[in-house]
Structure 1
């Protein structure tokens, strides 16, 4: 991506951000600046879908540092330099939408989704109340209701939220489970728990599950990794064995995290069997569906004791 292809007019190249809206009422400079940025993005999209293009112009870190000017300046750069930097950034970016790029977590670009990001970034609002984001709030309610309808009729009148990612979703589930078992924890803290809490997840689960035990005070030793079979699925009998072992020690098992689509093997834990065990011993069952949520829905799991399927990969 050649930066010489994105030259601003001589009148605007040397200007700064203070010469754009809203600092200056005249909008032609802003329009030309944004148009050059759009040109860069369109060229990258074209290159991403071109089989003759390389997936990545690779350089080792020490070589890449020589190609980039990453020092923090005392004063802001002019508009032309900002445009050049945008072009350079994409020049060395992995083309995740390339026909020959294969990765289970990076899926390239969807044009409509990109436009949606432009829209929300331009509005630059929060989602706290209807007063500050009336259309977005209504859209969120409609989308969440529809997602619950897909899960099943028993969920339509429930509640749900959008989370920023799978790791935070697992943390949300952990906190919900602890609050469910110990509703006074919010006010009284750890003193309300008379015993050692323990949680369980597959040895193939995402690393963020174990981090919940760390950041929330359980300690990683109290996040038990349940053995999996040759297909990478949690073994229900091993889960029950570990629950009974900890109960015999006077500990309090309270949370089990299944995985629907493990990061490495794409495996699905046997949710129904695990749900029966959770009901038997009074544990909260969480399903980490960040990877394979869409496939989870297609399999139509409808176990009546699922506490929540936290995030769906329906794109």
Structure 2
């Protein structure tokens, strides 16, 4: 019995390690490609992610049967999934654009304000009020980002706006997903949702890519002739984008949403440390203080949420 329990712990630890590695790896590789390598096409990069996610989702669900496949039951449900896909695209594209201009450490500090935007959208859309304690815990979340912004040596206004937009879109997607797919007939697990959202995202992103980042395909092919690494980097980067979603689903399934939230807070801090070590971006004491305050606020928010339920 103890051997089974121990193997269960090893499996869960392995899943969490895979989730951390894929999350932080994707973030750092996106930063490397868009900023250090000089591949300045964030929309095309997102489209590559969604194309590979479509293919790997199909293989995992239809061929490997990792989870039962759920069908889309109505045109209305399809429209809801399409709306979520549009918000998802906006979030990922904005996040990738922000990485061109901001260091990963500051990007993570802004991303930690997701609970603030979630609470705002939940109230605006559903008029659902949280307990006063929950709202009080959001004060250090926002204050921390304001302090971090003031002390950020590499602050870039456009990058900051893009990162805020990505964070808000991420929160809007989670609130929208809860509302739009709340009925038992329409509920989809995250793997099935990605199976339907990713191809829709490709269709949405293709015309935008061709219009905003014209000649990106010929530029990428020309770049590949000079340096074949770019093809492998794009393929590996896109596969990582899928594994982020896969490991996210598996960790939630084998632990709980609350555990995932706690692990997510720690992941942000690990990503900050690793990115500073790799990219050696300057960071001030004020910036670190602000980020620490935000993470502290997020932890308090999680605790307040748990108690209110």
Q: TM-score, normalised by structure 1?
A: 0.22
Q: Which has the higher contact order (CA 8 A, sep 6+)?
A: 2
Relative to its length, the structure with more strand (as a share) is 1
Q: Which has the larger radius of gyration?
A: 1
